[in-house]
């Protein structure tokens, strides 16, 4: 299989937007790169930029904190590509929000038969509690992370595809910001030689977006970040964002609902909370409505939400729009709501609940990636080309038993980017997660988080499975 190399046209020729970097890289002694990498690791450790791996232990059995490996070689995106991608992101996220508003109100798109009603209404991610509830500005997914990969075309060119939408609690933006800070610290000269679009204002945009989404009539809204706590895998990011925005990082126990208003417990008594940027899944948010055993949320939150006294970012029930069973219909949503052609492409997807698609999938298991529609983090999937015969046959049984639980896609030849690994500089597969903020307007910061599969040949970029990150540069023209 051919891969699109982000840096090289051929082994002899470097792409235009990488020429300056390539020259610079050629001047760096290998030893120096190695010591820079050690320096980066030491700083990440000291600053505490770690994530927790569930069920994992250090050698001495104590901590579970891991560093996400950081790669020194940036992923560079030329200006014109970013401009196009950004347009596509706005369009896609706008349509997804329109879909959410529709699905929790008139359900026009289901009535029109553009999307079958069954996978929507019988979906665990569809929250009937949200029916008829009006959220500020009709914006459900205020913070969205859209995963994008670039695959190789037969003629050698590359095409960006949206691999999946993340509209619940997308994470990773802190790594985008910390990676940039680290690169500027390690290689200031590179930033003098390139015109790299800055990203450091993301927390400012986020705070502004959260504040403008406050319930009507609140002048100086109080926004907070709600975290499950310090043992959550993304705790660093929760703390980081709260700190960068200068707002409180709260846990469920810090909040309570009284007379349909949300308050936090402070040293000077209860204080009203208007906007909650929550990093807790729907299921755990309100024990009165969702999981009764949850201590991570706030009892009565849905009541306050329905009364219009608090804004949740993101809203309950956004999962219905990023569910893998709904993903194949996003291009149709764009046409339905916006009357536009999709700018960003979907990966061609076979919906196994449809008999023809199931037959095709079963016939081609060895070539396809089959995903559980509700799965996340790279679990519960079959990567055909990488699986053994026995694994494929086992998966076949699982698939036949419950076809509507799966979708299948061609194995995408994720693009590669040169990466500094033990053996030297070698190509590794990457993806991209740009972050999209929807408030009064839809905004992004240039680029996003580039994740890299550090294992040779691996296509799994998730940090829980040995993925690392790279700084992502959008070059200004």
Partner 1 sequence: MLNERIERHLPPHVIDGAAGRGRPTPHLETKPMLSRTADHLFWMARYMERAENTARLLDVNYQTSLLPQSSESAMAGWRGMLSISELSADYAKKHPEINARDVLTYMVSDASNPSSILNCLRAARENARAVRVALTTEVWETMNQTWLEFNRLVKSGALAKDPAELFEWVKFRSHLSRGVTLGTMLQDEAFYFQRIGTFLERADNTARLLDVKFHSRNTEFFGSGVGNEGKEIDFYHWSALLRSVSAFEVYRKVYRNVIRPEKVAELLILRAEMPRSLVYCMNEVENNLISVANDHSHDTLRRAGRLRADLQFARIDEILATGLHAYLTQFLDRVSDLGFGISRDFLMPA
Distance CA 123, CA 126 (A): 5
* Least distance from partner 1 to the Cβ atom of residue 220, Å: 9
Write down the residue that tokens 């790299």 correspond to: 196
Sole window of 135-143, 248-256, 358-366, 432-440 interacting with partner 1 (rule: CB under 8 A): 248-256
Interaction residues for partner 1, span 42-71 (CB under 8 A)? 45-48, 62
* Least distance from partner 1 to the Cβ atom of residue 248, Å: 6
Give, in order, the Cα–Cα distances in Å from 104 to each of 121, 328, 383.
10, 20, 35
Q: Smaller CB distance to partner 1: residue 272 or 306? A: 272
Q: Which of 249, 407, 430, 432 is the binder for partner 1 (CB under 8 A)? A: 249
Size of the site for partner 1 (CB under 8 A): 23
* Least distance from partner 1 to the Cβ atom of residue 400, Å: 47
Q: Smaller CB distance to partner 1: residue 138 or 229? A: 229
* Least distance from partner 1 to the Cβ atom of residue 154, Å: 50
From residue 123 to residue 162, what is the string marking binding to partner 1 with x (rule CB under 8 A)?
A: ----------------------------------------
Structure tokens at 111: 């009535």
For residue 371, the cross-strand partners are: 381, 407
Q: Which of 19, 35, 134, 271 is the binder for partner 1 (CB under 8 A)? A: 271
Q: Which of 73, 78, 81 is nearest to 179 (CA)?
A: 73
* Least distance from partner 1 to the Cβ atom of residue 288, Å: 20
Cis preceding-peptide flag for 83 (omega within 30 of 0): no
Q: Which of 463, 397, 406, 473 is nearest to 172 (CA)?
A: 463
Query: What size, in residues, is the chain?
Result: 477
* Least distance from partner 1 to the Cβ atom of residue 230, Å: 5
Q: Using the rule CB under 8 A, is 341 a contact of partner 1? A: no
Distance CA 379, CA 462 (A): 10
Q: Which of 260, 276, 270 is nearest to 211 (CA)?
A: 276
Distance CA 405, CA 370 (A): 10
Q: Smaller CB distance to partner 1: residue 83 or 258? A: 258
Q: Using the rule CB under 8 A, is 267 a contact of partner 1? A: yes
13 class by beta-carbon count within 10 Å (0-12 exposed, 13-18 middle, 19+ buried): exposed
Backbone angles phi, psi at 327, to 5 degrees: -45, -45
Q: Which of 67, 110, 264, 398 is the binder for partner 1 (CB under 8 A)? A: 264
Q: CA gyration radius for the chain? A: 23
Q: Smaller CB distance to partner 1: residue 273 or 320? A: 273
Q: Using the rule CB under 8 A, is 266 a contact of partner 1? A: yes
Q: Which of 77, 103, 182, 242 is the binder for partner 1 (CB under 8 A)? A: 242
* Least distance from partner 1 to the Cβ atom of residue 210, Å: 16
* Least distance from partner 1 to the Cβ atom of residue 322, Å: 28
Neighbours of 38 (CB within 10 A): 9
- CA-based torsion, 460, 464, 470, 473: positive or negative: positive
Q: Which residues bind partner 1 (CB under 8 A)?
A: 45-48, 62, 229-230, 239, 242-243, 248-251, 253-254, 264-269, 271
């Amino acid at each position: 299989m051919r891969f699109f190399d982000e840096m090289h046209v051929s082994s002899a020729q470097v792409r235009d937007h990488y020429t300056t970097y390539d020259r610079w890289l050629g001047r760096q002694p290998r030893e120096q790169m190695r010591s820079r990498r050690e320096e980066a690791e030491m700083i990440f450790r000291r600053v505490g930029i770690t994530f927790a791996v569930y069920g994992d232990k250090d050698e001495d059995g104590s901590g579970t904190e891991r560093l996400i490996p950081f790669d020194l070689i940036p992923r560079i995106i030329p200006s014109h590509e970013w401009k196009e991608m950004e347009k596509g992101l706005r369009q896609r996220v706008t349509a997804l929000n329109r879909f959410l508003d529709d699905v929790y109100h008139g359900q026009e798109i289901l009535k029109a038969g553009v999307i079958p009603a069954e996978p929507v209404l019988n979906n665990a991610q569809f929250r009937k509690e949200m029916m008829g509830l009006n959220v500020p500005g009709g914006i459900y997914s205020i913070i969205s992370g859209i995963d994008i990969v670039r695959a190789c075309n037969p003629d050698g060119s590359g095409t960006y595809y949206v691999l999946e939408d993340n509209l619940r609690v997308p994470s990773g933006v802190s790594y985008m910001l910390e990676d940039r800070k680290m690169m500027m610290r390690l290689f200031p000269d590179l930033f003098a030689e390139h015109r790299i679009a800055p990203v450091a204002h993301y927390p400012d945009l986020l705070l502004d977006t959260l504040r403008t989404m406050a319930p009507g009539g609140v002048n100086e809204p109080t926004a907070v970040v709600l975290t499950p706590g310090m043992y959550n895998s993304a705790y660093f990011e929760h703390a980081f964002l709260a700190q960068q925005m200068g707002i409180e990082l709260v846990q469920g126990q810090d909040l309570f609902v009284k007379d349909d208003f949300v308050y936090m417990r402070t040293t000077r008594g209860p204080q009203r909370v208007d906007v909650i940027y929550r990093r807790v899944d729907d299921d755990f948010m309100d024990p009165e409505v969702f999981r009764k055993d949850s201590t991570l949320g706030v009892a009565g939150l849905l009541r306050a939400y329905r009364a219009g006294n608090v804004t949740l970012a993101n809203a309950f029930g956004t999962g219905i729009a990023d569910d893998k069973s709904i993903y194949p219909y996003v291009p149709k949503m764009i046409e339905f709501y916006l009357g536009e052609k999709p700018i960003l492409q979907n990966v061609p997807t076979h919906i196994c609940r449809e008999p023809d698609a199931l037959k095709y999938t079963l016939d081609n298991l060895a070539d396809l990636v089959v995903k559980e529609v509700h799965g996340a983090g790279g679990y519960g999937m079959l990567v055909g080309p990488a699986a053994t015969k026995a694994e494929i046959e086992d998966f076949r049984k699982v698939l036949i038993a419950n076809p509507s639980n799966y979708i299948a896609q061609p194995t995408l030849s994720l693009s590669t980017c040169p990466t500094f690994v033990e053996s030297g500089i070698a190509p590794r597969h990457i993806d991209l997660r740009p972050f999209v903020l929807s408030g009064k307007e839809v905004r992004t910061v240039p680029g996003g988080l580039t994740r890299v599969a550090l294992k040779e040949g691996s296509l799994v970029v998730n940090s829980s499975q040995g993925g690392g990150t790279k700084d992502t540069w959008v070059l200004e023209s």
